Structure 1
Amino acid sequence: MLPFDVYPLIDVTPEKAKGSRIWDKDGNEYLDLYGGHAVISIGHSHPHYVQRITEQLEKMGFYSNSVKIPIQQELSQKLGEISGYEDYNLFLCNSGAEANENALKLASFVTGKAGFISFRGGFHGRTSGAVALTDNPKIVSPFNQGHEVHILPFGKMDEIHKLLAGGDIAGIIIEGIQGVNGIQVPDSTFLLELGESCKKHGAKLILDEVQSGYGRTGKFFAHQWTEGLRPDLITVAKGMGNGFPMGGVLIQPEIEASHGLLGTTFGGNHLACAAGLAVLEVIIAENLIANALDAGSYLLEELKKIEAIQEIRGKGLMIGFDLEREAGPVRSELVHRHKIFTGSAAGKNTIRLLPALNIEKKDLNIFLNCLHNVLELKEA
């Protein structure tokens, strides 16, 4: 039996990793500026992370959510303190798609409505409801098309008001910053209008912070760059576990649900919570949110100096930039000749950068020099 062929693979076989470095089976060293789709938030194999998980595994690796799990309470409290959402409740699950599914389910349950609004270029996952709200027909099957979904461009408030006034919309889901779509940042005024309109019409605003959360943009959540915005539900995953599969939904205290509505076998297990706590502890101890903002600002400014780059978008260490040519060959040169991992996006000319939050400027300079080299050769 072979793995099902679903991914276009880079011809590299990583065997170990530390910090922002990866080594392949032949001993070649790579600089990681993609973090496995924004998952590696505190660097590969961080000592505190390894210690936390090892110590927990030696005590207990797993038991179901049918018993009290104190480490869940510890994680929930720590996440509330750092994020500024101490009064919210936390449902723990296993992935970003699962987090979004549960947020959608909660919004529909408490409103008694079935319709949802999402946005062009958005990506919310590959499970049934999440993929129905994702703007990519290639991954939507006939089964997923049974949902009542309206996918709109950013800024179409007239149409949004009209749909909400119709009384059939349970909620609106929007990414704090669109990731797969090449790092598209929604306008703060637009976000505030969404929140106000949802409140007026009894719908729920869901902020998908799966990729843009956990300090990546220089705030704990990307939507916190918009002062006064208070979503009803916030979904998280990716950087939450630094590679350990976990996700969650932050739920406004006014939202209640009966026992049995939400559930999960593996979500919030002892090892996942140990990983999640380690991530938060390192973010605090090493001041990584500030570093994300500082390093990201530096990188954005340096990228602006490169003439072959047409447009740059992002905040902190969530950056996308468009080249004058297709990005695929450039990314291939970077990984195979210069040993640097970068990310692709929906746009064929776009490169995404999502490094660990503790990336150092000397590593960013290595990337910038190599990028100059590749682009200059291509020009020649």
Structure 2
Amino acid sequence: MNLFNVYPLFDITPVTAKDVYVFDEKGTKYLDLYGGHAVISIGHAHPEYVKAVSEQVAKIGFYSNSIQNPLQVELAEKLGKLSNCDEYELFLCNSGAEANENALKIASFHTHKKKVLAFKNSFHGRTSAAVVATDNPKIIAPINAQQEVNFVDFGDLESVEKILTQNKTCAVIFETIQGVGGLDESTTAFYQGLEKLCKATNTLLIADEVQSGFGRTGDFFAFQKHKITPDVISMAKGMGNGFPIGGILIHPKIKASFGLLGTTFGGNHLACAASLAVLKVIENEKLMNNAKEISNYFIKNCDSISQLKSVKGRGLMLGLEFDFPIAELRKKLIYNHHIFTGSANNPNLIRILPSLTVKKEHIDLFFDALQQEL
């Protein structure tokens, strides 16, 4: 049997990894400044993480959500404390797409409306409603198109108001910093205006923090810089440091009932142990502070790159935009210098999404390689 061929693959086969490095089957060492799409938050094979997952799987790895699981309670308490979102309630699932799917579903249940408002250049996942709220017609199948989504320009409050006042929209879903779209972030006035319009029209405000959450921007969630209170917050990627886990934080004004949401694997014992280890390391090693410090250092180094058009993003969710396509440059960084970086919908932008443990010496290696290739 062959694999279903949907991924263009680089000719690299990682077999081991440690902190910000991965090693292939030949022993070649690669600097990982992409973290597998921002998934690796506390470094590959962090000792605390390995210990927590290993000890948990030796006890019990999984049972259904029909029994008590104290690890879920512990995770909710720890997450609430570290994120300063204590007032929210936690529902656990398996991925970012599933988190957004549940966020949109709960918005429709709560408001009894069915349309969604999203923003151009967005990415929210590949499941039924999440994929239609993603601004990419190529990945929307006919069966998905039954969902009704309005797209407006990111930052256009006037268009948002025109749509919401029609009273047909259950949710506005937004990325504080658009990940796949190319690291664009709007203004505080825009996000606060969104919140005000949603409150006035009985529309839920969903903050998609799947990529930007768990400390990546230097704040626990990227929206917190803008002093807003979303009704639902979705999260996933950095939440488990590679173990599949996602979740939504739900404002207490939204009431739970038995059967409203559900999942087989979500919130299993192993997933909770993995995420608890991530939170412990983020807190103990002050990784949100490190994200800010290394971000400042990275941005200062950008002054040395004359070909650079702009620097986008915040914390360790960064983009380097040039005035030429970067596909070949990324290949040279991988094959000539053994450095992983990411791409975006913007063909001229390199994405930088390293582990929050990254150090200045690693940034130096990247800029040395970049200058050589440019």
Q: One-letter code of the match for 2:232?
A: L
> Counterpart of 1:50?
50
Deviation at 1:304, TM superposition (A): 3.0
Whether 1:359 and 2:358 are equivalent positions in the alignment is yes
SS in 1 for 2:106: helix
2:171, 2:95 → 1: CA distance?
21
Deviation at 1:211, TM superposition (A): 0.2
Which shifted more, 297-306 or 63-72? 297-306
Deviation at 1:335, TM superposition (A): 0.3
> Counterpart of 2:330?
331
Q: One-letter code of the match for 1:164?
A: L
Would you say the 8 A contact 1:235–1:249 is kept in 2? yes
| 4+ runs deviating over 4 angstroms | none
> Counterpart of 2:254?
255
1:161, 1:205 → 2: CA distance?
13
1:311, 1:130 → 2: CA distance?
30
* Deviation readout 1:217-241 (Å, 9 max, x if unpaired): 01000001102x0000000000000
* Deviation readout 1:192-233 (Å, 9 max, x if unpaired): 000010001110000000001110001000001102x00000
Q: One-letter code of the match for 1:90?
A: L
SS in 1 for 2:350: strand
> Counterpart of 1:217?
217
Would you say the 8 A contact 1:182–1:321 is kept in 2? no
Deviation at 1:311, TM superposition (A): 1.2
2:322, 2:186 → 1: CA distance?
22
Deviation at 1:277, TM superposition (A): 0.1
> Counterpart of 1:22?
22
Q: One-letter code of the match for 2:244?
A: P
Q: One-letter code of the match for 1:230?
A: T
Whether 1:137 and 2:137 are equivalent positions in the alignment is yes
Q: Following superposition of structure 1 onto structure 2, how do residues 56-205 of structure 1 map, counting pairs within 5 Å?
A: 56-205=56-205
* Deviation readout 1:23-70 (Å, 9 max, x if unpaired): 001110000000000000000000000000011111111100000000
Q: List alignment gaps of at least 5 residues for structure 2.
A: none
Which shifted more, 343-352 or 156-165? 156-165
SS in 2 for 1:309: coil
> Counterpart of 1:378?
none
TM-score, normalised to structure 2, is 0.99
Which shifted more, 105-114 or 251-260? 251-260
1:182, 1:253 → 2: CA distance?
33
2:157, 2:185 → 1: CA distance?
17
Q: One-letter code of the match for 2:359?
A: E
TM-score, normalised to structure 1, is 0.97
2:34, 2:69 → 1: CA distance?
33
Q: One-letter code of the match for 1:345?
A: A
Report how many residues are paired.
Answer: 374
1:181, 1:226 → 2: CA distance?
20
> Counterpart of 2:319?
320
Superposition CA RMSD, Å: 0.7
Identity of aligned residues (%): 52
Would you say the 8 A contact 1:106–1:257 is kept in 2? no
> Counterpart of 1:239?
238
Deviation at 1:144, TM superposition (A): 1.2
1:186, 1:159 → 2: CA distance?
15
1:253, 1:119 → 2: CA distance?
26
2:65, 2:343 → 1: CA distance?
38
2:176, 2:218 → 1: CA distance?
13
> Counterpart of 2:343?
344
Q: One-letter code of the match for 1:89?
A: E
* Deviation readout 1:60-105 (Å, 9 max, x if unpaired): 1110000000000000000000000011000000000000000000
